[in-house]
Structure 1
Amino acid sequence: MTTVTDFRAFDLDEALMKVIQEKEFKVPTDIQIQTIPAALDARDIMGSSPTGTGKTLAFLIPAIQHLLDFPRRKPGPPRILILAPTRELAMQIADQAKQMTKYTDLSVATITGGVAYMNHVEVFSKNQDIVIATTGRLLQYIKEENFDCRAVEMLILDEADRMLDMGFAQDVETISAETRWRKQTLLFSATLEGHDVYDFAKRILNDPIEINADPSRRERKKIQQFYYRADNIEHKTALLINLLQQEACQKVVVFVRKRERVHELVTALHQAGIRSSYLEGEMVQVKRNEAIKRLQNGTVSVLVATDVAARGIDIDDISHVINFDLPRTADVYLHRIGRTARAGKKGTAIALVEAHDYDLLKKIERYVHEPIKMRVIEALKPKSKTPAESKKKKLSQKAKIKKQDKKEEKKKIKERHRDTKNIGKRRKPTKQESIQPI
């Protein structure tokens, strides 16, 4: 594959290049290098890429370029339909789409839950080129015949794996059937592992190109990765508070595994005088929006969240991502830390590791192809030894015992030469023994 070092290599419209230059996007990311040319060739795509690697632009740029290359002669229904699993993600995609179409006459609209019907009337009455929607609300309007799918030329599914997790597979397949006149489908997922996404993709894609784009070493180097060892949950909480009180931690996302841990941490941080908001599953839309807004506008400096609640959240200028609990899989770790060091900026990812997390930490290191360095806060040094040290100690003890056993085996018992020299030889009878009685 030819090395692409500049967006000009894609031969994009001047209106797009103007925005790209204004935003100072210099070298395309791996997902953009692989996706944009294939999408411009009108190929169906099944792609995976971690959060924070430029995935949204990877599908927005070819979609906008398509509309500019083939302008419509008269106003009509949307030509590009983008589906997202959550309202927040849909709004983020719409915001980027509006920025990228700044110097064009293209229009961008959203259809999401949590918004009154009247606010969507303009989508139905006016000319729209790009619509970003959540599946539930869009399907409702399709069934009511308030949304015309016949003009859709490109269907884009973002975070398809999450749509499946949230039970939207049937809704997406229905929308796919309603847009059956389309020319192209792009499906993006955080990971393509497992049969669910593959089976789902086969039903709605036509001879797709599969793209697995890991962040390049150049992109990963923007994120400094460290870990601190913790003896137990209390020690880990003390480490977190100490880190959050440091001046460098300006805007932080703290990840935990379970909802119960979210409330425990928020209470502990509040007692320590640290302002924080939180996201958890099944949170009502208004509260979710408020929690994100508080971090965005600086009312709080910390957002505590589970993976399910925070998936797809894109917040500018995150300085640190702290893994209070390590995720169960290494690919989720990569998606988590991708929330910092976005748009060419640098960031820091920190993991708090208990003894039972050590094997998982090693798996993560193998997955990201680089060692994660250990750091120590002098006032909060761990008292326990690392599992590796304990294992090494046990092995050395076993080795000593084995060595001692071998020494004992090798000890020679003093034996007279005459007792050993004829061992194994057949004894010859003496003369007296050889005389037989008559």
Structure 2
Amino acid sequence: MFSQFALHERLLKAVAELKFVEPTPVQAAAIPLALQGRDLRVTAQTGSGKTAAFVLPMLNRLVDLKQKRVEIRALVLLPTRELAQQTLKEVERFSQFTFIKAGLITGGEDFKEQAAMLRKVPDVLIGTPGRLLEQLNAGNLHLEHVQVIVLDEADRMLDMGFAEDVERLCNECPNREQTMLFSATTGGAGLRDMIGKVLKTPEHLMLNSVSQLAEGTRQQIITADHNQHKEQIIQWLLENETYDKAIIFTNTRVMADRIYGHLVAKDYKAFVLHGDKDQKDRKLAIERLKQGGAKILVATDVAARGLDVDGLDLVINFDMPRSGDEYVHRIGRTGRAGNEGLAVSLICHGDWNLMSSIERYLKQSFERRVIKEVKGTYTGPKKVKASGKAAGVKKKKADKKGDKKVVAKRKPTAKPKPNAPLASADGLAPLKRRKPAPAAE
């Protein structure tokens, strides 16, 4: 129960109003430590409830402030506009019975309007690193009174090249008392370097590792001969699977536009989302999907993180993602909050090794599925000849079985006659035998 946490009564009232009853594992582990003011480094998969795990302790720190609102007290950094917008909504929901105000700074919005909002000095500022730095450089942003920093999806921010921006923004908050870093993966050397620079003796929490995907999500692969065959399979799945909303992921913008064009031509209510789309189009695509105006979203990995849509129960990987982590983020869109979901990956000859490496990474084996109506000829790599010990054992057994026959057919090798001439090395003319040299005395 959330009442077990030492949260302010106004926050507990909001929690009850929102019908939050049982905390998720990441909330149960992180909230008590965060309330103590500890620096946290939390690894938790997408959809595990980690937003509330940092929002509630952050608001609890600010709820009883007696000072007038003249400084920004909390800063939340996120990699994408969509994720920042969703986090703002969560902060507003949990702070509805308090006087705490939050503001949003992201790219794609009017710079002057954002500067005007900053002059009102929100208690909590949520934003993406690039635009925040632009406002900082313009003299519109002052962070010297920030008490708490949250770095959400820190691994993704590093992947997008925001490492230096994040570090600079943290350095602009010299009086901060607490820093919390959340990521969906354990990350590499870059993430470890960031942790060493921005966290002070952090508590490490490893929850919901990427190998523990949502139990309600079935993971299947369907083999395909080529991209046109993949498009036929998608058509069949959209016509025959039962789903409320679906996402089709591609690795390239060109392919996303191509699939979207085919779907629209067949009168599907669909939208496409990728990096070439401006903020207005991106907002429209996500809102239409949430409200049910569109049932299908075709997207590149720009939508793999931070997309929270109820009723999203079908994910199709037209292209296999390039890493196990990205695979997790993609299919993490479905099977959330105990609901069932289906994730289908379409595998051509060039995708098989990548798919196998992701299976090994997740320590799982995907369900193989065949759809007879659109069955192709490719079914996976051909079996190769046994090698090593296995080949040696088979050879010995074969030799034992065939020993008698081989011996029976084998012709005796003719021994050379004592005085027969020897062949030369090139086999063209016989060589004369040399007389033996006299023995040494």
TM-score w.r.t. the length of structure 1 is 0.82
Query: What SS does structure 2 have at the residue aligned with 1:342?
Result: coil
> How far did residue 180 of structure 1 move?
0.8
**Structure 1 position 272 matched with structure 2 position 266:** yes
CA contact (8 A) 1:43 1:208 kept: yes
Residue number among 391, 410, 417 corresponding to 2:383 in the alignment: 391
Deviates more, 1:156-165 or 1:92-101: 156-165
CA contact (8 A) 2:185 2:210 kept: no
> How far did residue 227 of structure 1 move?
2.5
1:24-423 to 2 correspondences below 5 Å: 24-68=19-63, 70-120=64-114, 123-126=117-120, 128-214=122-208, 220-246=214-240, 248-308=242-302, 310-387=304-381, 390-391=382-383, 394-395=385-386, 403-409=397-403
- 2:431 corresponds in structure 1 to none
CA contact (8 A) 1:90 1:132 kept: yes
> How far did residue 403 of structure 1 move?
4.2
> Per-residue displacement from partner, 1:364-394 (whole Å, max 9, x unpaired)?
344444433223323123433333xx327x5
**Structure 1 position 8 matched with structure 2 position 20:** no
CA contact (8 A) 2:211 2:363 kept: no
CA contact (8 A) 1:53 1:338 kept: no
Distance in 1 of aligned mates of 2:378 and 2:137? 61
Amino acid at match of 2:42: G
Query: What SS does structure 1 have at the residue aligned with 2:65?
Result: coil
> Per-residue displacement from partner, 1:96-139 (whole Å, max 9, x unpaired)?
11111122222122122332245335633435221112223322
Amino acid at match of 1:30: P
Amino acid at match of 1:53: S
Structure 2: segments with no counterpart, 5+ residues: 409-441
Distance in 1 of aligned mates of 2:69 and 2:81? 27
> How far did residue 338 of structure 1 move?
1.0
> Per-residue displacement from partner, 1:20-64 (whole Å, max 9, x unpaired)?
334343433333233222212212122232221212112112111
Amino acid at match of 2:377: K
Distance in 1 of aligned mates of 2:159 and 2:364? 30
Distance in 2 of aligned mates of 1:225 and 1:115? 38
Amino acid at match of 1:197: L
Summarize the Cα distance change of 1:400–1:175 in structure 2 as closer, same or farther, 3 Å threshold.
closer
Query: What SS does structure 1 have at the residue aligned with 2:77?
Result: strand
Deviates more, 1:400-409 or 1:30-39: 400-409
CA contact (8 A) 2:43 2:184 kept: yes
CA contact (8 A) 1:226 1:372 kept: yes
Runs of 4+ in structure 1 deviating by more than 6 angstroms, as ranges, are 216-219, 396-402
> How far did residue 310 of structure 1 move?
4.1
CA contact (8 A) 1:253 1:320 kept: yes
> Per-residue displacement from partner, 1:281-324 (whole Å, max 9, x unpaired)?
24322222222233223332211111145433333321211111
Amino acid at match of 2:57: P
Query: What SS does structure 1 have at the residue aligned with 2:383?
Result: helix
CA contact (8 A) 2:211 2:362 kept: no
Structure 1: segments with no counterpart, 5+ residues: 1-5, 415-438
Amino acid at match of 1:86: T
Query: What SS does structure 1 have at the residue aligned with 2:312?
Result: coil
Distance in 1 of aligned mates of 2:76 and 2:189? 23
Amino acid at match of 2:383: K
Summarize the Cα distance change of 1:176–1:220 in structure 2 as closer, same or farther, 3 Å threshold.
same
Amino acid at match of 2:38: R
CA contact (8 A) 1:243 1:249 kept: no
> How far did residue 82 of structure 1 move?
0.7
Query: What SS does structure 2 have at the residue aligned with 1:384?
Result: coil
How well do the aligned residues superpose, as a CA RMSD in angstroms? 2.9
> How far did residue 239 of structure 1 move?
1.0
Report how many aligned residue pairs link the two structures.
Answer: 405
Summarize the Cα distance change of 1:296–1:60 in structure 2 as closer, same or farther, 3 Å threshold.
same
Query: What SS does structure 2 have at the residue aligned with 1:225?
Result: strand
CA contact (8 A) 2:115 2:135 kept: no
> Per-residue displacement from partner, 1:150-192 (whole Å, max 9, x unpaired)?
2210011122233233332222222212111010111222323
**Structure 1 position 20 matched with structure 2 position 12:** no
> How far did residue 240 of structure 1 move?
0.9
Summarize the Cα distance change of 1:25–1:351 in structure 2 as closer, same or farther, 3 Å threshold.
farther
TM-score w.r.t. the length of structure 2 is 0.82
CA contact (8 A) 2:223 2:346 kept: yes
CA contact (8 A) 2:211 2:361 kept: no
Amino acid at match of 1:391: K
Identical pairs, percent: 39
Distance in 2 of aligned mates of 1:264 and 1:406? 60
Distance in 1 of aligned mates of 2:210 and 2:275? 32
